[in-house]
Amino acid sequence: MRTTCVVLPAAAVAFQIVAVLPSLATAFSYEVGVGKDETTGYPGIGFDPSRSVPVNGDSIVFTMLQGSHQVIEGTSSTPCAPGGGFDTGLQSVPNGTVEGGPTFTFQVTDSSKPTFFYDAAGDNCQKGAVFCLNTDETSTTESCHAYKAAALALASGSGTTTTPSTTSGTAIWSTSIPSNSSASHLIGGTSTTSTSSLASETSKSAAARASRGLRGWSTKSVVALLVGLVGIGM
């Protein structure tokens, strides 16, 4: 039996690759527990995780556990005060709710800048209940650990805070956690500036980005690579 090998022109191969690229660019959903201690995984004060590193098109799904919670977007310069963006409104979740609570979704549209959130219910923020996106942990002012430290300082009376509105604001309601959420894409934050903590966080971030595969490649880069491989094969 003779086997016939058909070699497609490089242009044809490139066209087929471009056609399937949209399916490779699937956005990820990062599930974040509100009212959950990230060190124990049980209900408590804070967010779990307290920091994530998404890219444009990804979404952050805040899931509220038992107690009162209100996730508000803030600013690095003024902890525990509204920044005029995302606001879930004040939510009261029945005691005993450790999963399946109300969820709110934040869409990531500019991953080039850090974004800060806090739990405005009661004094949760002043107890360290903050969450950050794409922060520079080497910065003394724009890092998540610096934002948390500034929030904790308010409890001692060394700062001021603003009482937020209890309206729903700009939150997007979601009835369930998206099925493509994965713990492998969640980056936990740190509350110190130690070298070991930053190294651990950096390695987690690298692993998460590596798991995206071709997603981080531009269409032009993928096509150029595959056309080159086809040319070598010919």
What per-residue confidence (pLDDT) applies to 67? 97
Q: Which residues in the chain show pLDDT less than 50? A: 13-15, 17-24, 160-223, 225, 227, 229-230
Helix (H, G, I), strand (E, B) or coil at 110: coil
pTM for the model: 0.64
Between CA 134 and CA 141, with CA 135 as vertex, the angle to 5 degrees is 160
Helix (H) or strand (E) holding 132: strand 130-133
Tally of CB atoms within 10 A around 83: 17
What per-residue confidence (pLDDT) applies to 118? 98
Contact 68, 90 (CB under 8 A): yes
What per-residue confidence (pLDDT) applies to 4? 54
What per-residue confidence (pLDDT) applies to 16? 53
What is the b/e burial string over 139-153, where b = at least 16 CB atoms within 10 angstroms of the residue's CB?
eeebbbbbbbbbbbe
What per-residue confidence (pLDDT) applies to 184? 32
What per-residue confidence (pLDDT) applies to 59? 98
Torsion of CA 195, 138, 215, 62, to 10 degrees: 90
